[in-house]
Structures are given as structure tokens and as C-alpha cells.
Chains A and B, each alone.
Chain A
Amino acid sequence: MTDDADRSAGPLAGHDRPIVELRGLTKRFGAVVALDAISLAVRAGEFLTLLGASGSGKTTTLRLIAGFDVATAGQILMDGVDVAALPPFKRPVNTVFQQYALFPHMSVRDNVAYGLRMRRVRAADVTTRVADALDLVQLGALGDRAPRQLSGGQQQRVALARAIVNRPRVLLLDEPLGALDLKLRRAMQLELKRLQTQLGITFIYVTHDQEEALTMSDRIALMRNGRIEQLGSPTDLYDRPRSRYVADFIGETNLLRAVVAGTGAAPGLIRVEVAGGATLDVAMPHDAAWLARAGTETWVSIRPEAMTVCADGHPTGTPTPGGARPGGQVVLAGTVTAAVYAGSIVKVHVALAGDASVVAHHTPATAPTPAPGSAVRVMASADRAMLVGA
């Protein structure tokens, strides 16, 4: 581990030049377009996650970077150099495979030593580096075991050790925790993140688990149908989703159909009319100026935890016209249909006018939980009600 100190360059080193850059990368399998001209610049030292549903092209992207498949079109640059001509064994990346792909006929130690031996590292160095790598993943005592004698979590660590022992500049990980149970997965998420920061290796990490992506990543590229739907930090994607798909994929959210009515009462706010007739002033996402044209049909996304529910003063529960308040509050009137206990919170389901409904997370400690059937107002700060593309 002595050699780790000089490698802890951190996420900011080489910030301006991407370590891996994809330019218009396209991959077709016959008629299937697995990757549709994606472009992406990976910064040195960062933890970048490719997140997406199954079949969105994550594995294809990794395999193209590793060199296992050949792109139909586009370029892959590593340190500014096109690597199209390089076979996998000449690329400065290592892969942690989805099913680990440990060599069954070798001991754990020989598995980890494989890459070093293939690069003809001196035997003495191989021994110490393999021992260090096994210690790093807390498997120091199991070097003589066969892979099949290990649990899934241990095999996963061996796969990790086998890759990082080579000190790659970029590590590609394809759903490395996918086969583990939830508890182990959570623990491994933190451990992987710790290793990544400690070793300063750039991680390109594939997962379909949005929670995992939010926990570990510096940046997330959310993929959909072979394209990058949105690229940004976890907070970007969570708080400022660009589209309805992103808002829905990352975390839980309430989506309300809306039509743009005009500019809002304050800068950065835009006035929309939601189904059921309420008019709201909501926040406009960073670069969605095209949404601002009046008459555009779109969606408003409000996270359940951004909402508060309070008992309505009006006996009838008629929707208050002009839902926007001067204080930048979005207010919606409705009727509680269910209150579902979920431990620290209660999920309050509220039916709004015009067939819409929302779920709000209510904290029972702050106020009594409204009973089903009661008329309530659901409120959220305007900057947490986001206008998103369809």
C-alpha cells in the first residue's frame, strides 16, 4: 500500500483533459441500435456511473471501451489518443466482470497475479503486490482457496483485487454488486467508494440501481435506448431532472401533467396550468428554455419529501384558484385517499382534481397525520416543483 500515496491524485487532477472520451460512439447489432452516437468525457479520478434500465446500452459502452467489441461508428480516446486499433490486452483499462469471470483452475492468488505475470513483472514484486491487493480487499488469508470455495461477496472482492493490482488508470465495472444480497451490496458500495478515493483510479461503473448510483457516483450518465438522457452529479439528476424519464427513474416523484401558461411571478419561475385547473408557478430547469413557450405540454415533478400536507380550512375542499402564492409556494388541494405507514414517515396519498394524484411524505412527529377522506392542502416550495420535459 506504500505506492498508493503517490497515486492519490484526486478527482481534480487533470481536470481539463478527459482520461476517456467517447465521441459519437455508435454500436449496431444487425438492426438493433445498442448505442446511438453517445458522447461523453470522463474526468481523471472521477467515479462516473452509467445508469440505466436493462438494455439501455451500458454493457455495450463498457465493452467498447475495454475493446471486446468494435464500434460501428465514432471514436474512443484515452488521454487524447484514439484507441480503435488497440486490442483489449493493450488498453490501459481493466474490467471487473458482471459474473466475476474468475479463472476456475487457478487459486485466488494466481487469479490476482495473472495480469502482473502477463506483463512480466518480477516474481518478487508479483508476490508483494498480490499480497497487498488481497489485503486491500480483506482477503489476505484466502489466497490458496479456489474461487468456487468462496462466497459471492468474496469472489467479488477477488475480481476487484485482480483488476486493481494492475494499477489501471481506468477501471470498468459492470454491475459488480448485482449478484449480492442487499445488505452486502450496501457495505460493498461504501467499500468500493473508499477504494476508489484511496487509489485515485477513475471508475466507470455500470448499474441499473439508481440508489447505488446516487450513493457512489461523482457523476451519473443516465442512459436510455442507447443514448445519454442526462449527465450530471447525483444532485443534478435528483433535483434538476431534465425529463420526465429522469425524474421518474431517479428516486420517487409525483408527475403532474401541465401546460405552460407564461412567465411566473418571480425570475426563474414559470407559470403552468396543471390538470384540474390549478395554476402554479414552478421552477424552470437549467436549460429548458424551449419549454417556456406558452402552450407547451409538459410535466411538473415534485418529490414526495418536498411536500407537506396540512388540513384544509375550507369545509368543501374546492381547489383554490391560483395555486401559486407570493412566497414561492405551490399549493394543491385534494382529498386524502390513504395514509400508509412506512417507518419514519407516513406516505399520504392525495387525490387532486382532474384525476391526478400525488404521494407526500408526512413526518408524524411534526403534525398529526391527516385521516383518509379529509380535505387537505399539499404544499411545496416552488423551487422544488420542477418543470420537466416530456
Chain B
Amino acid sequence: MSGVAPALGAPPPSDAGGAGGAGGAGGEPRDPAHRARPATRLDRLRARRGWRTLLGSVVPVSWAVTLLLVPYVLLLAQSFWRLRDGVITHELTTENYRRLFGTPLYPATILYSAGVALRVTVISLALSYPLAYVLAFKVRRHRTLMYMAVIIPLWVSYLVRAYAWKIILGQDGILNGLLLSVGLIRAPLTVLLYSTAAVVVALTHIYTPFTLMPIYAVLDAIPVSLREASQDLYAGRWRTWLHVTLPLSLPGVVAGCTFAFVLSMGDFLAPQLLGGNDSALMVSNLVWSLFGVAFNWPLGAAVSVVMLALTLALLAVAGAVEARGRYGQVATGAVAEYAGPI
């Protein structure tokens, strides 16, 4: 949305070329030397620059309005409409929200989804931070290669990655096969697939690169001399990490955790494919069935709005945490900029 301000504040295109003859008629006293002044190249350049600024901001602003603002406004409006006998009436009501908070199922689903997302976030962070640390500070040769190896899963289709876990965890799956052949189990385990754990594992696999990337980026940007200065000032490796590396990498940690949390909380395919009957009810699946199966768009919209509000609140908190890490600077962090496509 930041494109709006410069657009409105941009100087109007200069009209120096046409101002000549009309100058006197306007009643505005003008320097006679100014009157017949032809448009200079600078004037034309300024005019063109003005148009460009205007044009350059119209595109992103209209983009944002049509693709972000309009859908959200429609969603918000939808959530206040009444469903009567399976038909949506344009009649304002808070009934959807009252039903949402009045039925234990909905808050419980949101909490359950948050629980899954939290577990994914914690595991992703636990995996990403050490890996990013080693990549950024310890690996000398083939660093890009190793980084790419971690990032490559992103290039594989989401569906392929999700189905891969079906193959691994299924009753005739790779894991069961392995356990059977080693002799740890006699009969294939059925609890592996279609469970919350399967969803958490798959989501962790899918979203860990999103945690790793920002953490690696901030760690890589920390000058070696800062860590050396810390060691020079009597701090060992552990305290150097605690007092210098960690605080400086916090923005990346916050960004990475936010990615993992928000993305996995909004995920609905992995729960659909890998979750059990109960765990298929992540909040996104709920929204999906409200819109698609129950055809209760207003209630679906209300759930979406609540989710959106929760996510924005989370982003705000993350942004604040990130800004607190920097001394003497009020910063809007990288996280805040990710508020868009949810």
C-alpha cells in the first residue's frame, strides 16, 4: 500500500510549455521574461518524470486493490450476511460470529490448527537454526551447493512432497517396510499415516526451507569481525552466540517462524491427504467444507475473517519483537511486509 502516498504527493505534470500566452490573462502577475519562455528540456523531462511516477504507482496500487483489498472487503461483507434456508440474503447480522464463538467446534478447530502450526514452527526452527549456523559460519567450500540442497525441495511440487509422505508412512510404505525387515515390528503399523503426527512431519518438511532461508540470510550478513570482537572481549563461543549472534539473527528467526506458523496454519492439503478423521479438521479444511460442502458462505467467511485477524495480530507481534532487537531504531521488520497473501 505504500505506493499510494508518492502517487498523491507527486507534483502534477509541469505545464511550462502552454503557460506562455495565457500567463497575463490569468490575472497572476508574471515576470515578462518568463512569459515567452519555451519549454526547456528540463521541463519536458520533469513532465515526463511526473507522468511516469503517476503511471508507475497506478499499476501496483490497482494491483493491490483488485487482488487484495477487494477480496478482503467482500469477505468481510460476506461474513455479515445472513443465510436463510440455504440462500444468502444481503441482510446484516452478527449471527455468524455468534455461532462461531458459541459452537465449541470452531474455536477448538482454530486452537487445534494453532497447535499443529506451533509444533511445525518449533521443529522447523530447531532444524533450521543449527543448519543455517553451520552453513553460514562453518562451511567454507561448496556453501552454495549445500544451501541449494536444502532449498531444492521448494522446487518440487507441493503435491509431490505431500504424497511422498503417504508413500513413506503408508501401511505398505517405506518406513513400515524398513521396520519389518529390521525386525522391530511384526505387523505393519497403521498409526503412522492419517495422524496428527503425519501432518506435522509433512508440514515441517514442506515449510522448513521457509524458516531456513531468512535465518541463513541474517546469519550470513553478520560481519565476522563482530564475532571476533566479542571473542576479543573475553566471550567464548557460547557467550558470543548468546550476546552477539543470536540478537543479530533474531529478525531472521522471527521471520522464519512466522512463515512456518502462518503457512502451516493455513494449510489444508496436508491434513486432507495425511490427517486422520479428526485431524482432517484443520481450520482451513473447515473453511473449505463450509464454503464447498455446507454451502454456508457467510459462516465460512466469518471463520476466515477471524483467522485473518489472528494472523495479522501475530504479524504485528512478530514485527514488534523484531524491532525490539535493534537498538535505537523503530523498525518495521521483514515480517510485517509479508502480511499480504494469506
Contacts and interface: CB of A to CB of B under 8 A. Distances in A.
Interface of A: 66-68, 87-90, 93-95, 97-99, 101-107, 110, 114-115, 118-119, 145-146, 148-149, 162, 166
Given A105-B248, A149-B328, 4 more contacts: A67-B231, A103-B226, A107-B328, A110-B327
* Secondary structure type dominating chain A contacts: loop
Interface residues of B, number: 22
A104 B331 CA distance: 14
Contacts of B232: 66, 88-89, 93-95
Nearest to A90: B234
B230 to A, nearest CB: 7
Given A97-B228, A101-B229, A104-B327, A119 B234 contact: yes
A177 B328 CA distance: 26
A87 B231 contact: yes
B326 interface: yes
B34 interface: no
Interface of B: 223, 225-226, 228-236, 239, 243-244, 247-248, 325-329
B247 A105 contact: yes
A123 to B, nearest CB: 16
A230 to B, nearest CB: 30
A157 to B, nearest CB: 15
Contacts of A145: 328
Given A105-B327, A106-B327, A118-B233, A68 B248 contact: no
Contacts of B326: 104-105
Contacts of B226: 101, 103-104
B234 to A, nearest CB: 4
Q: Which of B231, B234, B243, B325 has the most CB of A within 10 A?
A: B234
Which residue, of B226, B232, B244, B327, has the highest number of chain A Cβ atoms within 10 A?
Answer: B232
Closest 3 CB pairs of A and B: A146-B328, A115-B233, A101-B225
A101 B248 CA distance: 13
B60 to A, nearest CB: 30
9 contacts: A87-B236, A95-B228, A95-B229, A101-B223, A104-B326, A105-B327, A114-B243, A115-B233, A148-B328
A109 to B, nearest CB: 11
B55 to A, nearest CB: 36
A88 B325 contact: no
Contacts of B234: 89-90, 115, 118-119, 166
A162 to B, nearest CB: 7
Nearest to B239: A118
A107 B327 contact: yes
A103 B231 CA distance: 12
B137 to A, nearest CB: 14
Contacts, number: 74
B228 A101 contact: yes
**Interface residues of B, dominant DSSP:** helix
Contacts of A166: 233-234
A162 B233 contact: yes
Given A89-B234, A115-B234, A97 B229 contact: yes
A88 B225 CA distance: 13
Nearest to B248: A105
A49 B268 CA distance: 66
A114 B328 contact: no
B139 to A, nearest CB: 18
Contact of A105 (B223, B225, B235, B325): B325
B16 to A, nearest CB: 42
Contacts of A66: 228, 232
A349 to B, nearest CB: 45
Nearest to A94: B232
Contact of A88 (B231, B327, B329): B231
| Among A88, A102, A110, A119: residue with most chain B CB under 10 A | A88
B254 to A, nearest CB: 14
Given A107-B328, A118-B235, A146-B329, A99 B230 contact: no
Contacts of A89: 231-236
A305 B235 CA distance: 51
Given A106-B327, A115-B234, A166-B233, A97 B225 contact: yes
Contacts of B247: 105
Nearest to A97: B225
Contact of B230 (A98, A107, A114): A114
Nearest to A165: B233
Nearest to B236: A89
A229 to B, nearest CB: 28
A68 B232 CA distance: 9
Nearest to A166: B233
A146 B328 CA distance: 6
A68 B328 contact: no
A243 to B, nearest CB: 34
Contacts of A87: 231, 236
Contacts of B239: 118
Contacts of B225: 97-99, 101
Nearest to A159: B229
A146 B326 CA distance: 9
A122 to B, nearest CB: 15
B231 to A, nearest CB: 4
A107 B327 CA distance: 7
A58 B218 CA distance: 30
